[in-house]
Structure 1
Amino acid sequence: MRTAGRDRRGVASVLTTDDLHCFLALLPLLDPDVDDAERVEQIGLLESIKAAAAGAQARATVAFAASQRETQAVAGVPRGERGRGIAAQVALARRDSPARGSRHLGLAEALVRELPHTMEHLAAGSVSEWRATIVCRETACLSPEDRGAVDEALATELPGLGDRQVEARARALASQLDAAAMAQRARRAHSERRVSLRPAPDTMTHLTALLPVAQGVAVLAALETAAASARAGGDDRGRSQLMADTLVERVTGQATAEAVPIEVQLVLPAAGGDEPARLGDQVLPAQTTLDLLASARQAGARATLREVIATTDGVDLAHVSARRRALPEQPNQPARTRGSGEPAPADGAPGRLFTGAARRFILLRDQRCRTPWCDAPIRHLDHVIATRAGGSTTTANGQGLCEACNYAKEAPGWRARTVRAGPAHTVRTTTPTGHSYDSTAPPVLPARVRARAATSPLERLFEALLLSA
C-alpha cells in the first residue's frame, strides 16, 4: 500500500488508501462542543465532502474499469465480452446492487470523459452526486460534442440550481441542440413501457406501470370514474380502495379482488402464538397469515397449500413438499418443524438443472438474489461451483441469482464456493481483485434465530473460525 508523498513543505501531495482509512476513523470524532453556527458549518462541509468523495470515487471507478478491460484484453477475452463483471465489482465495493453498479459505472465514465465542468463542481463539493446524475441522464441521448456544449452552458449556474431546475435546464438545452435526438429518445421510451412488482411493508406490494403519458392518464381517469360510480351507489369503501380493487378485477377478470388463485408456500411456527411467520420473502404475524388464508377461502379462491418444513431453530429449510393439496377448511398448522439434526430433502436426479423439490427448496431458502446487497428476484438457479468444474447439482452447491449476477460471475477471475452448507447456507464469492464477499441465506423464521444469541462465546468463536477457513 502506498504511503503519502510529501512536498518540500511537508504537505501531502497524494491522498493514499491509508489516509482514507484514517479520515474515516476520524469522522466519528467530530467536535460536538461547538455552537449552532459552527454546527451548521459542519453540516455544510460534510455535505461538500460527500460530493467531493463522489467525484474522487468516479475517477477511481473509471481508472479501475480501464485497467480491468486492459487485463481482460491481455488474457485473450474476446472484444465483445470485455468489460463483463466490472460493474458487478463496482457494485460490491459500494455495497450496492449490480443494476446500480452499472449506473454508477456509466455515470463515472460520462462525468470524467464528457462532462468536465459538472465533474469539476462535483469534485469541489459544490453540487451533489444526484444533481450530477441528472445532468448525465438528461444529456445521455446527445453526441459527445453536444453533451459538452450543455455541460459548458450549465457550468456557471449549476451550483445554484435545485433538482427540478437542473432537469428542466439540461432538457431545454438538449432539445435546442438536437431536437431529433430528443424525439428519438421519447420514441425509445415508449417502447420500454413495462409493469413491475416489488414488495412493500405489511404484506403489501407496489405494482408499477411505466406507460406513455396519455395511456397513464386514461387508466387513472377510468379507475377514478369507476370509484366515483361505486361510491355514488352506496359502496362504503374509500376512493383509493375502490380504485385498487377495480384495477385487480379488470386486469384479472375476477368477480372480486379477493378471489385471487394462490398457492400458499407458508412456513408457520410449530406451536401457535404471536411468533412471526414468513410468506414469500415477507415476515408477518402468524394471525395475519391465518386471516389471509381465511379471506381467500371465503372469497371462493382456488387455493392450494404446499408443506414447508423448517428446522427447529428457524434458520434453515429442512424440506419442501413435492405435492400440493387443497386449502383446508380450518387451516391450523399448515406447516411444521423438524429437528435441525434431521437430513435435508434428497436432491433431484444428477444433471445440470435444478428441478422439482430441489428447485423449490433453493427458491424458498434464498428468497431473493444471493449476491450481497442485490435485492433482485431470483431468475437463475446457479451452481456455486460450475458443473464443468466438477460441481454437483445439490442444494448445498446451489444458489438463487438474478440474471445479471449469474452472468457477472462467469467473467474471468471470479470464484465461488460454499463455505457452510447448513445451518445458514453461506457462499463466498471472490472477485478478480481478490476481494471476498460472504452471502448467507436469510433465516426461515427470523424470530426463532434470537435463540442463537444465547450460545456461548466459545461456540460463536468456533463458528467464525469455520467460516474463515
Structure 2
Amino acid sequence: MSNECRERVAPSPAEPVAADPVEGYEESLVSRLRALEDLKSAVAADQARTALALDIARRRAEAAAGMPADQRGRGVGAEIALARRESPHRGSRLLGLARTLVIDMPHTLAALECGVLDEWRATLIVRETICPSAEDRRAVDAELAADPRDLEGVGTREVRNRAQRIDVRPDLGAAVDRALKAAPERHVSCRPAPDTMAYLTTLLPAAEAISAYSALSRDADTQTNAGGNRGLGRGQLMADALVERVTGAPAGSVRVDVQSIMTDRTLLQGDSEPAYLPGYGYVPAQYARNLLRDGSGSHRGPGETSADARDAQSPAGAQHPEGKAGHTHDQAAQAWLRRLYTAPDTGRLVAMDSRARLFPPGLRRLIAARDATCRTPYCDAPIRQFDHIVPWRLTGSTNADGGQGLCESCNYVEEALGWSSRPLPGARHAVERRTPTGHSYVSEAPPLPGTSPPRRTTRPVHSVTDFIIHRAAA
C-alpha cells in the first residue's frame, strides 16, 4: 500500500481509536458502518444507471453511423469492466444486470438504492428470475420487492429461495424450457487455489452432478468399510477416485505436458526462488523439483505416493545444466518439461520473428508462457487466441514483442470500432489498450523467475472516502 493510500485510510485525529474513547463512540462506529453500507448500495444503483446510459448512448451513436444492429454496443461491457477494475466477463454481466434492473425490475433497483439489498443480493434476484418475458420479470419484481420492508433482515439464501419459488410457478411459463436450454452450457474449468492446489469445477445438469457425486461418495464409503482407505479421509478418497477415473492413471502421477519455468539455480543448486507453472502461477522451489523428480509435487505423504512416482530413480532434467528449465521425459513419471530461456538483462523470454501472418506453434507457446493469461487488464481468462497488437496489415511482421495472448471475447473486442492497442517500451512486455472514449489501460506481462517487478511511480489515488462524512451520527 502506498503512503498516500495509508494516509487515506488512517484514523482521523478527531476520531480516537485507543486510550479513552468518548461516550457513545462505539455506537457511532456501528452507525458509520451502516451508513457506509447504504452508500455502497446507492453507488451500485447509480453505477447500474450509468452503465445502461453508456450502452444506450453508444448504440445510438453507432446507429447514426450506419453500423448494423447486430454489431452495435460491442465492447461496452469491456469498457465497463476496465472502468470498474473487473474482468471483461464480469463487465458483460454487470451490463446485463444494469439493463434488467433499470428497465424490468424497478422495485429491486429501489431496494438496492435505499440499502435494503446489496449488489450481490440484487444480482441473485436477477439471476434466479430469468423469466421468458419482460412482463413476467416485472411481475416477479412487484411480488418480491414492491415493499422493501419484506426484504429487511432476509439472508442471501432466503432471497434466492424466494426468487426461485416465484420464478418456477406455472403461471410464469417456461422454467422447464429454460432448464433444457441451460444444458448446453455445461463445462469444466480449472482455477488456482492456495498452496499449489487447484479447483477443478464442472457445471452440469443437476441430476448428472448428483449422480457423479453419489458414485464418488459410494466408492469412498466402500473403501473405508473394507479397510482399504489407507488412513485417508473421505474427501481425499473421492478426489483420488475422480482423478483416476478421468485420467486413467493412479492419483498422484502426472501424465501431461507440463511447462515449468525456473532458474538453473532453483533446478540444480537448491535455490529457494519460486518456479512458475503456466496456467497456475508461482509454486515453491522444492515443489517444482519434486515435480521434475517424481511427477507428484509435494501433496502426498509417504503412504500416498503413486507406484509410478516411486519407481523414478533420478531427477528429471539434470542432464541440462545450461537451461532455465529441464526438457526431458521421465518414463516412470510421464512428466514433460520444456526449457525456456530468458534474456539476462531484462528477464524477457527469448523471442523469434516470423514473416508468417499467423503465429507459428513455437512462438505461440512462448507468448503463452510469457503472458500466462489474457493480457486485458483484470481479465484472468485462459489464452485462446494470439493477436497482433498492431494489426499485421500495418506492420507486416509476426514476433513476440508485437503479439499478445487474449481470450476469445477480448480478441473480438479488439476489432470493435474505436478500440486500439500499442506495445510500450520497457524492461517487461507492456501493452496499452485505448477505448472508444479515449481512456487508456496498461497491462504488463507477469515477472518470470529470476526477475523482479519494476518499481511503480507514484500517482494520484482517488478514493470514495473523500465523499464520506467521517463522524457518522450516533
Band of TM-score, shorter chain: 0.7 to 0.9
Structure ranking higher on relative contact order (CA contacts 8 Å, 6+ apart) = 2
Cα distance, 1:236 vs structure 2: 2.5
Cα distance, 1:341 vs structure 2: 6.8
Query: 1:230 maps to which residue?
Result: 223
Q: Deviations over 1:160-189 (max 9, x none)?
A: 422122212222222236453111122222
The 5 Å alignment of 1:11-410 reads 32-33=15-16, 35-154=25-144, 155-156=146-147, 157-176=150-169, 178-231=171-224, 232-234=226-228, 235-254=230-249, 256-271=250-265, 272=269, 273-280=271-278, 281-296=280-295, 298=309, 325-327=328-330, 338-340=343-345, 345-390=350-395, 392-410=397-415
Amino acid at match of 1:59: R
Which of 99-108 and 30-39 deviates more?
30-39
TM-score normalized by structure 2? 0.80
Cα distance, 1:344 vs structure 2: 6.0
- SS of corresponding position for 1:263: coil
- SS of corresponding position for 1:267: coil
CA distance in 1, matches of 2:345, 2:331: 27
Q: Select the residue among 423, 426, 430 that pairs with 2:430.
A: 426
Q: Deviations over 1:143-176 (max 9, x none)?
A: 1112111111122113342212221222222223
CA distance in 1, matches of 2:310, 2:42: 57
CA distance in 2, matches of 1:172, 1:278: 47
CA distance in 2, matches of 1:260, 1:410: 39
User: How many corresponding residue pairs?
Assistant: 419
CA distance in 1, matches of 2:435, 2:252: 47
The alpha-carbon distance between structure 1 residues 186 and 346, as it changes in their structure 2 partners (threshold 3 A), is closer
The alpha-carbon distance between structure 1 residues 221 and 329, as it changes in their structure 2 partners (threshold 3 A), is closer
The alpha-carbon distance between structure 1 residues 275 and 344, as it changes in their structure 2 partners (threshold 3 A), is closer
CA RMSD of aligned residues (A): 3.4
Query: 2:471 maps to which residue?
Result: none
Asked if 2 retains the 8 angstrom alpha-carbon contact of 1:348 and 1:394, the reply is: yes
CA distance in 1, matches of 2:105, 2:338: 61
- SS of corresponding position for 1:202: coil
Cα distance, 1:392 vs structure 2: 2.4
The alpha-carbon distance between structure 1 residues 337 and 355, as it changes in their structure 2 partners (threshold 3 A), is closer
- SS of corresponding position for 1:381: strand
The alpha-carbon distance between structure 1 residues 218 and 417, as it changes in their structure 2 partners (threshold 3 A), is same
Which of 335-344 and 232-241 deviates more?
335-344
Cα distance, 1:38 vs structure 2: 0.5
CA distance in 1, matches of 2:212, 2:418: 49
Amino acid at match of 2:235: S
CA distance in 2, matches of 1:411, 1:341: 33
The alpha-carbon distance between structure 1 residues 436 and 338, as it changes in their structure 2 partners (threshold 3 A), is closer
Cα distance, 1:389 vs structure 2: 2.9
> Can you give the 5+ residue segments of structure 2 that lack an aligned partner in the other structure?
1-6, 17-21, 296-307, 460-474
Cα distance, 1:299 vs structure 2: 5.4
Structure in which a larger fraction of residues adopt helix? 1
The alpha-carbon distance between structure 1 residues 27 and 346, as it changes in their structure 2 partners (threshold 3 A), is closer
Amino acid at match of 1:277: A
Cα distance, 1:126 vs structure 2: 2.5
CA distance in 2, matches of 1:349, 1:343: 18
Amino acid at match of 1:392: S
The alpha-carbon distance between structure 1 residues 144 and 77, as it changes in their structure 2 partners (threshold 3 A), is same
CA distance in 2, matches of 1:72, 1:335: 46
Asked if 2 retains the 8 angstrom alpha-carbon contact of 1:369 and 1:378, the reply is: yes
Query: 2:301 maps to which residue?
Result: none
CA distance in 2, matches of 1:36, 1:342: 52
- SS of corresponding position for 1:262: coil
Amino acid at match of 1:100: R
Query: 2:3 maps to which residue?
Result: none
Cα distance, 1:120 vs structure 2: 1.4
Amino acid at match of 2:15: P
Q: Deviations over 1:244-266 (max 9, x none)?
A: 11111111222x11233132322
CA distance in 2, matches of 1:382, 1:343: 19
The alpha-carbon distance between structure 1 residues 135 and 196, as it changes in their structure 2 partners (threshold 3 A), is same
Q: Deviations over 1:260-319 (max 9, x none)?
A: 313232222232321111122411121111112222272569x99799999xxxxxxxx9
The alpha-carbon distance between structure 1 residues 233 and 128, as it changes in their structure 2 partners (threshold 3 A), is same
- SS of corresponding position for 2:443: strand
Amino acid at match of 1:270: D
CA distance in 1, matches of 2:189, 2:201: 5
Percent of aligned pairs sharing the same letter: 43
CA distance in 1, matches of 2:353, 2:341: 23
Asked if 2 retains the 8 angstrom alpha-carbon contact of 1:90 and 1:101, the reply is: yes
The alpha-carbon distance between structure 1 residues 338 and 106, as it changes in their structure 2 partners (threshold 3 A), is closer
CA distance in 1, matches of 2:72, 2:357: 27
Asked if 2 retains the 8 angstrom alpha-carbon contact of 1:384 and 1:391, the reply is: no
Amino acid at match of 1:429: R
The alpha-carbon distance between structure 1 residues 132 and 337, as it changes in their structure 2 partners (threshold 3 A), is closer
